[in-house]
Amino acid sequence: MSTGRIIKGIGGFYYVLPDCGGPAVECKARGHFRKSGISPVVGDLVVYADQKEGHSVIEDILPRKNLLVRPSVANIDQLLIVISATAPAPDWQLVDKLIIQAVPAGIKPVLILNKSDTGGEDTVREFSRDYVPWFQTAVVSAKTGSGKETLAEILKNRVSCFAGQSAVGKSSLINLLLPELSLETGELARKTDRGRHTTRRAELWPAFGGAVLDTPGFSLYETDLLEQTDLNRCYPEFGDSPEKCRFPSCMHVSEPGCAVKELVAEGKMSKARYERYTVLAKEYEARRKHIYG
Ligand SMILES: Nc1nc2c(ncn2[C@@H]2O[C@H](COP(=O)(O)OP(=O)(O)OP(=O)(O)O)[C@@H](O)[C@H]2O)c(=O)[nH]1
Ligand SMILES: [Mg+2]
Ligand SMILES: [Zn+2]
């Protein structure tokens, strides 16, 4: 038996990088995983049996630290949420949703503003106002290489997964850091024509003492179930204000005596991010009502 980490999965085969070194091993999964509804995913740490002939077999999936879905990736330390300074125009609501996927799962969100060579003053201003004071951030350009060292430092000794809209430059940034990979990148025009991502599946590469995962971004179809206390943790701007609200169950939307709304009124939290928050908070509330009745 050997142990390793899944770096990609294609057509029922999983490619496992052995902990003891050497090239990736082609594996099939044991049938009982499928029966129990658990499938191996990229990032999984697994135990596999080496075969003399044909492929090897994954015997066990070690307990996951966390799991993100669509695409499925496991055991992530940080989510690198990439935003473009110009095209495609930033979808800040998606950025906030990705932060909400990461934080409750124990994944650190890091916000990367790419294409800084293209101007985009409005986006830079919004980024500086809404995220820079509260999250780890970096301003980079995959084209000029600006911010490359900062990015390499962020990736050091961690398992980092890239996320964000199509064409923001996720694969281009990985190419900047690991040129030997020569990942496929694509024009925005081509992507919007065909309505799909150039990167089609999640894949992992060991790098900088950790690992880097490229993805086509994450599709967030519906709001997950999330308690208000977990949602509060996704907004470092709130500080300890939620504890000071008149109602312990305050959603900080329309309740009287809300300390979070006070923060916004005093200009201590960005109005724009707060407004995006209220939309999401209502979605999460509706979801809780739907589940709990
Ligand atoms: N000017 C400029 N263009 C960039 C930069 N980074 C990426 N691009 C271009 O943006 C386009 C999209 O880049 P990709 O790396 O394919 O984007 P992606 O986020 O991986 O997209 P998907 O795989 O579809 O999710 C390509 O044409 C890149 O050349 C940058 O820093 N500056
Ligand atoms: Mg890509
Ligand atoms: Zn409140």
C-alpha 29 – ligand 1 centre gap (Å): 34
Nearest CA, atom 30, ligand 1: 115
Select the more confidently predicted residue: 29 or 223: 29
In this prediction, residue 98 carries a pLDDT of 96
Element (DSSP H or E) covering residue 2: strand 2-10
Superfamily of domain 2-63: Nucleic acid-binding proteins (2.40.50.140)
186 lines ligand 1 (CB under 6 A): yes
**Average pLDDT rounded to a whole number, residues 251-274:** 97
The closest of 138, 166, 134 to 152, measured between CA atoms, is 138
Do 68-214 and 228-292 come out as alike in CATH topology? no
Per-domain residue ranges of the chain = 2-63, 68-214, 228-292
Residue nearest to ligand 1 atom 32, measured at CA: 115
pLDDT of residue 194: 47
User: Which residues partner with 28 through β-bridges?
Assistant: 57
Question: Is 190 a residue whose pLDDT tops 80?
Answer: no
Nearest to 137, CA basis, from 159, 158, 161, 111:
111
Q: Give the closest ligand to the alpha carbon of residue 85.
A: 1
Torsion angles phi and psi, residue 121, rounded to 5: -60, -40
Q: What pLDDT band is residue 193 in, cutting at 50, 70 and 90? A: very low
Average pLDDT of the segment spanning 39-50: 95
Each residue's pLDDT tens digit, 123-150: 999 999 999 999 999 999 999 999 999 9
* 3-class DSSP state of 152: helix
- Ligand 1 in reach of 141 Cβ (< 6 A): yes
C-beta pairs of 272-278 under 8 Å, 24+ apart in sequence: 272/92, 272/126, 272/129, 272/130, 273/92, 273/96, 273/130, 273/235, 273/237, 276/92, 276/93, 276/96, 277/96, 277/235, 277/252, 278/252, 278/253
Predicted confidence (pLDDT) per residue in 68-123, tens digit: 998 999 999 999 999 999 999 999 999 999 999 999 999 999 999 999 999 999 99
DSSP character for 195?
T
Superfamily of domain 68-214: P-loop containing nucleotide triphosphate hydrolases (3.40.50.300)
Ligand 1 pocket member 171 (CB < 6 A): yes
- What is the C-alpha to C-alpha distance for residues 249 and 283, in angstroms, rounded to an integer? 16
Q: Per-residue pLDDT for 221 more than 70?
A: no
Q: What is the CATH number of domain 228-292?
A: 1.10.40.50
